[in-house]
């Protein structure tokens, strides 16, 4: 009886899956797509269909044989599965055609990111029969509900987009809708320019002073990255920082920022200006790469800056994920004598456990609370609680986003002595920050 059940299960599996790759076949994919559409309709969500063609598979079959082509298709299937999320579906529809159904895509950038990852994964060399083989992938993308509300319509739209992509050149992706293609192309053009920006001195640091609320004395500064493209003009960090994080460019850019901040601060000190710390934001992606201590050590060594004049600002997202690795890096930074501050405190996944476990020196009250501190009792209560908590843990506090005298006075009354914001100064280019350091204080 057990053999009969096993045979029945095997038959059931084979009727719904592709024998070569063990991915869902067209029939099972159609069922899953229908279910996902029904769920997206109920939730008001969107889906994306990425129809993938392995370019020039016939060339592999003709030169190395069909066994090699089959091995390559199995590897493409494995890599596509590695990109799919737990609620996504990868299926094989025909010989060289796969489809990835994305169910958790909130916006176009999510879809673009998955398409790029899939193209990059397919393009990595494949070892087939003792040969290193490189193939590429072309992708056509349709989106529910804008490109259709039935499985057949979405597949037709993705197929039309795929045909256009193959006509335009392989190894790329195309959306069914023209305006979405324009957004995708803008994203890609921005990435190309950002890669060039690093070597073309288009990136610069601006500095925003942190001052004593009582007398405006400059106590420190935060280094903030700015990008001015000759073709596009000034580009907001809100646009290019997420792009840098998605593409991995945040690592070389982040390294440059740390190095440049150290060199600039030491140059000011050597010129006889005030010796104050410079704070640098470090992305969770940099901590995930595990390179932050080495980069900081090299920057301090090259610049000659003493460690107490560098402050590393991290966000709460650093403390999610692999906390052991983050904890080890923070301990290493602390051992060097670099100070550590927690940015945007209270806006994300705040846990008091973080404050006891991670060796921090400073908390920053986020501007979201400072903005409403005089009008919203909750914002005021959070700011007061943060100060009390910091006092109990012997942590320093900075309030950022201070824009009015009323905010300054309120923060002074509740005991916050170090302030940062446009009331005192916007972020300044190095030359203007130097003049401020020469003055030693900010005049309101």
What is the separation of C-alpha 248 from the centre of its chain, rounded to a whole number of angstroms? 8
Tell me if 185 is assigned to some domain: no
Q: Identify whether residues 132 and 208 lie together within a single domain.
A: no
Tell me if 183 is assigned to some domain: no
Helix 430-439, helix 250-270: angle, nearest 10: 40
Q: Identify whether residues 88 and 158 lie together within a single domain.
A: yes
Q: Are strands 218-229 and 173-175 parallel, antiparallel or unpaired?
A: unpaired
Q: Is 283 left (phi over 0), alpha (psi -120 to 50) or beta?
A: beta
Which of 176, 211, 236 is the endpoint of a domain? 176
Q: Identify whether residues 240 and 95 lie together within a single domain.
A: no
Tell me if 214 is assigned to some domain: yes
Task: With H, G, I as helix, E, B as strand and everything else as coil, classify residue 240.
Answer: helix
Q: Identify whether residues 138 and 219 lie together within a single domain.
A: no
What is the rounded CA–CA span in Å between residue 410 and residue 412?
5
Tell me if 188 is assigned to some domain: no
Q: Identify whether residues 328 and 408 lie together within a single domain.
A: yes
Identify any residues that bridge with 128 across adjacent strands, giving them in sequence order. Answer: 131
What's the domain count of the chain? Answer: 2
What was the pLDDT predicted at 303?
Answer: 97
Q: Where are the beta strands (DSSP E) in 282-425?
A: 310-314, 339-345, 362-365, 396-400, 418-420
Q: Identify whether residues 279 and 344 lie together within a single domain.
A: yes
How is residue 224 annotated by DSSP? E
Q: Identify whether residues 25 and 172 lie together within a single domain.
A: yes
Q: Identify whether residues 142 and 228 lie together within a single domain.
A: no
What was the pLDDT predicted at 199?
Answer: 82
Tell me if 181 is assigned to some domain: no
Dihedrals phi, psi of 134, to nearest 5 degrees: -115, 125
Identify any residues that bridge with 203 across adjacent strands, giving them in sequence order. Answer: 227
Identify any residues that bridge with 320 across adjacent strands, giving them in sequence order. Answer: none
How far is CA 15 from each of CA 18, 185, 287, rounded to the nearest angstrom? 8, 40, 46
Are 122 and 76 within 8 A, CB to CB? yes
Helix and strand element counts for the chain (H, E): 17, 17
Q: Write the DSSP assignment of 24-67 as a string of letters.
A: B-HHHHHHHHHHHHHHHHHHT--EEEEEEEETTHHHHHHHH-HH
How is residue 309 annotated by DSSP? G
Which of 145, 176, 207 is the endpoint of a domain? 176
Q: Which domain holds residue 91?
A: 2-176
Tens digit of each residue's pLDDT, the chain (444 residues): 565 555 545 556 667 888 899 999 998 999 999 999 999 998 888 999 999 999 878 888 877 888 888 998 999 999 999 999 888 999 999 888 999 999 988 788 889 889 999 999 998 888 877 778 888 899 999 999 988 888 988 998 898 899 888 877 778 899 987 666 676 777 777 888 898 898 888 999 999 999 998 899 999 999 999 999 888 889 989 888 888 887 889 999 999 999 999 999 999 999 999 999 999 999 888 998 899 999 999 999 999 999 999 999 988 777 766 678 888 999 999 999 999 998 877 665 455 667 777 788 999 988 888 988 999 888 898 889 889 988 888 999 999 999 999 999 999 999 999 999 999 999 999 999 999 999 998 877
What is the CATH classification number for the domain harbouring 296? 3.20.20.450
CA end-to-end distance (rounded Å), the chain: 87
Which of 110, 143, 176 is the endpoint of a domain? 176
Q: Are strands 233-235 and 218-229 parallel, antiparallel or unpaired?
A: antiparallel
Q: Identify whether residues 343 and 274 lie together within a single domain.
A: yes
Q: Identify whether residues 148 and 237 lie together within a single domain.
A: no
Identify any residues that bridge with 140 across adjacent strands, giving them in sequence order. Answer: 51, 174
**What is the torsion angle, in degrees rounded to the nearest 10, for the CA atoms of residue 17, residue 20, residue 26 and residue 32?**
50
Q: Identify whether residues 398 and 253 lie together within a single domain.
A: yes
What is the rounded CA–CA span in Å between residue 362 and residue 311?
10
Q: Identify whether residues 265 and 378 lie together within a single domain.
A: yes
User: Which residue is listed with tokens 């592709």?
Assistant: 18
Tell me if 228 is assigned to some domain: yes
What was the pLDDT predicted at 180?
Answer: 65
Are 83 and 117 within 8 A, CB to CB? yes
What is the CATH classification number for the domain harbouring 144? 3.30.70.270
Tell me if 184 is assigned to some domain: no
Tell me if 242 is assigned to some domain: yes
């Amino acid at each position: 009886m057990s053999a009969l059940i096993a045979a029945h299960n095997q038959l059931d599996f084979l009727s719904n899956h592709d024998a070569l790759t063990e991915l869902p076949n067209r029939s099972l994919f159609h069922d899953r797509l229908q279910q996902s559409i029904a769920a997206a309709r109920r939730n008001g969500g969107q889906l994306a269909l990425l129809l993938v063609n392995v370019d020039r598979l016939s060339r592999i079959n003709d030169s190395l044989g069909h066994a090699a082509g089959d091995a390559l298709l199995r590897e493409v299937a494995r890599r596509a599965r590695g990109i799919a999320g737990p609620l996504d579906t990868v299926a094989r529809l025909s010989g060289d055609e796969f489809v990835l159904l994305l169910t958790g895509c909130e916006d176009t950038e999510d879809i673009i990111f998955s398409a790029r990852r899939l193209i990059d994964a397919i393009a990595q060399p494949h070892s087939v029969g003792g040969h290193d083989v490189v193939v590429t992938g072309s992708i056509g993308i349709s989106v529910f509900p804008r490109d259709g509300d039935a499985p057949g319509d979405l597949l037709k739209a993705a197929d039309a987009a795929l045909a256009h992509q193959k006509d335009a050149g392989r190894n790329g992706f195309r959306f069914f809708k023209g305006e979405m293609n324009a957004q995708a192309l803008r994203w890609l053009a921005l990435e190309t320019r950002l890669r060039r920006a690093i070597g073309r001195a288009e990136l610069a640091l601006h500095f925003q002073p942190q001052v004593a609320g009582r007398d405006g004395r400059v106590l420190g500064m935060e280094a903030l990255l700015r990008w001015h493209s000759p073709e596009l003009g000034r580009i907001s960090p809100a646009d290019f920082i997420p792009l840098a994080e998605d593409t991995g460019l945040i690592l070389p850019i982040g390294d440059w920022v740390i190095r440049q901040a150290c060199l600039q601060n030491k140059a000011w000190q050597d010129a006889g200006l005030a010796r104050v710390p410079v704070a640098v934001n470090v992305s969770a992606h940099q901590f995930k790469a595990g390179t932050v201590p080495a980069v900081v050590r090299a920057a301090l060594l090259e610049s000659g800056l003493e460690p107490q004049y560098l402050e590393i600002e991290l966000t709460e997202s650093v403390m999610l994920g692999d906390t052991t690795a983050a904890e080890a890096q923070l301990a290493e930074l602390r051992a060097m004598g670099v100070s550590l501050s927690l940015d945007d405190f209270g806006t994300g996944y705040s846990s008091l456990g973080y404050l006891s476990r991670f060796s921090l020196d400073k908390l920053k009250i986020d501007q979201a609370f400072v903005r409403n501190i005089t009008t919203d009792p909750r914002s005021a209560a959070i700011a007061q609680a943060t100060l009390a908590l910091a006092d109990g843990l012997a942590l320093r506090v900075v309030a950022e986003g201070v824009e009015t005298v009323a905010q300054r006075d309120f923060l002074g009354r509740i005991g916050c002595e170090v302030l940062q914001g446009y009331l005192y100064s916007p972020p300044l280019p190095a030359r203007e920050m130097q003049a401020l350091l020469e003055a030693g204080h900010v005049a309101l």
